[in-house]
Chains A and B, each alone.
Chain A
Amino acid sequence: MSLIELQRDLRDWLVREDRWSARRLGDDAAPGLRVYLNNYRAQLVACLDDSFARTRDWIGEAAFRQSVIAHVERVPPSSWTLDAYTRDFPATLSLLYPSDAEVAELAWIDCALGEAFVGPDASVADAAMLGEIDWDNAMLHFTPTLDLGDLSTNAPAIWSALAAGDMPPAVEYLPEPGAVLVWRHEQVSRFRAIDQIERQALLAARGGLSFADMCEGIVAACGQDRGVALSGQLLGQWLADGLISRVEERPVSI
């Protein structure tokens, strides 16, 4: 047997417990194959256990264990880092809990907080240094750990209550689709629920739209007075949150 055939057989044993692959590896290999299978599964289970604490709190130990088993069977790991193995678990939970959207949304928050924790470092814009900025030509640059998830329930409130050891609120569906914002500031991963106006503004500004153009979009959605006020509020909130890493003035064409 060539090396690549041997490695494919061992992979197929681990991923699918394929008996034919096991047989090709030799009759004497059975005890060792059981050890490797146990080690493989234990690593993946431990990874998901460590990364989805609030999701586990919400659905309970037994249901979480079943979900983890289903995920390990459904999604073999593909990256050199176990951190990456967490990324598809919310999708597995969506399949397992099609009528309970808060489960996958809690898992998304767990996962995104973990990713933000080890995301790239970045400076934070100092609000006191921004007095001289020409805001008509300003471009906002956001912290690279910023991530946005879709939200249809009050999952952030449930997550916070579970983390604090409080009785979580009952599931509530939002009157209109919302979003949850995750980022890291001062070495701590954070999140907050946001509405569609803020979500669109963040996506536009992060996508390269100038601050002035972003404000115009908010004014178009909310009207002149409310739009202008809201734009200022959002900028202040983003600066206070540590979401903005720097503000750059766009070169003015003559």
Chain B
Amino acid sequence: MTAPFAGFGLGLRKPHYAKFLEHRVPVDFVEVISENFMVEGGRPRQILRDVRARYPIALHGVSMSIGSADGLDGAYLARLRALVDEIEPLFVSDHLSWTRIEGFSSHDLLPLPYTSEALDLVCANIARAQDALGRAMLVENPSTYIDFSPADMTEWQFLDAMCARTGCGLLLDVNNVFVSASNHGFDPIAYLDGVPHHRVRQIHLAGHSMGEDLLIDTHDQPVPGSVWDLYAYVLPRLGPVATMIERDDDIPPLADLLAELAVARNIGRKHMRQAA
């Protein structure tokens, strides 16, 4: 059996396309936003093909809407499947959230209540998506700004049950754990202890900003110390896992992101050895 992929990568964003295509950037993989490339043709799709010829790619979606009470969009799944078939990605992921209801698309990741009703629905939607894609997907824990208490379970219990019932993997966003823990007052260590460690296939690291009342998952800052600490805490508890730095706004020079990735590699080297 092949060991799970455990490389270190970056989110590939427009300002750095040329560098990734003109040079051999020292990353093990890149992650792209699926929807940016679920187009019929033209330069974006060609760029993705060219990148794929040089680097393994993870496809990360924002619009599957696995929490939609009225189900998934079949046309969306068909387009994603076509992209998956062409790119043959390492991972296909999306979020534990919803964006679509009754013909409305929010284009923002909206929160779910952690109830039995929501769990049944999310599991049914993931099962349909995995059938349509012909593979298991990864589901990412979200940053949330509303806590629909009282709930039937915690977010980590929800993720555990969801993985067990659908066979999907987890994309553990350590920054999102920190942001939601800060906003809702739960212990991030209890969260990291509670997620199903053997299901985690990929980790996201990112930065956040303080809003008016809440921490916001802005992805416009370097990874802060609080997130590095949680990463170092959880890593020895996981098996081999891929790690990625996510930066979507105020995107710095590529060298800065590679320096952050080097920090992740150092922590990874130390703690994955402990896990082995």
Contact = CB atoms under 8 A, between A and B. Distances in A.
Contacts of A44: 107
A230 interface: no
A213 B127 CA distance: 53
A5 to B, nearest CB: 9
Interface string B143-160: 011111000000000000
Interface stretch (A9-17, A90-98, A159-167): A9-17
A6 B214 contact: no
A26 interface: yes
A80 interface: yes
B105 interface: yes
B41 A121 contact: yes
B225 interface: no
Interface residues of A, number: 44
A81 B79 CA distance: 11
Contacts of B214: 31-32, 35
Interface in B89-108: 98-108
Given A3-B115, A32-B214, A39 B42 contact: no
B42 A8 contact: no
Nearest to B122: A3
Given A3-B121, A26-B148, A35-B145, A8 B38 contact: no
Interface string A103-144: 000000000000011111110000000000000000000001
Interface in B114-135: 115, 117-118, 121
B46 interface: yes
Interface in B198-254: 211-214, 216
A36 B143 CA distance: 11
Interface string A70-85: 0000001111111101
Given A36-B145, A80-B63, A120-B40, A6 B106 contact: no
Given A8-B102, A77-B106, 6 more contacts: A7-B98, A8-B101, A35-B211, A40-B106, A43-B107, A187-B42
Closest 10 CB pairs of A and B: A32-B145, A121-B41, A32-B146, A118-B39, A31-B213, A4-B69, A80-B63, A120-B40, A35-B145, A7-B101
Interface of B: 35, 38-46, 63, 65, 67-70, 73, 76, 98-108, 110-113, 115, 117-118, 121, 144-148, 183, 211-214, 216
Interface of A: 2-4, 6-8, 10-11, 14-15, 25-26, 28-29, 31-36, 39-40, 43-44, 47, 76-83, 85, 116-122, 144, 184, 187
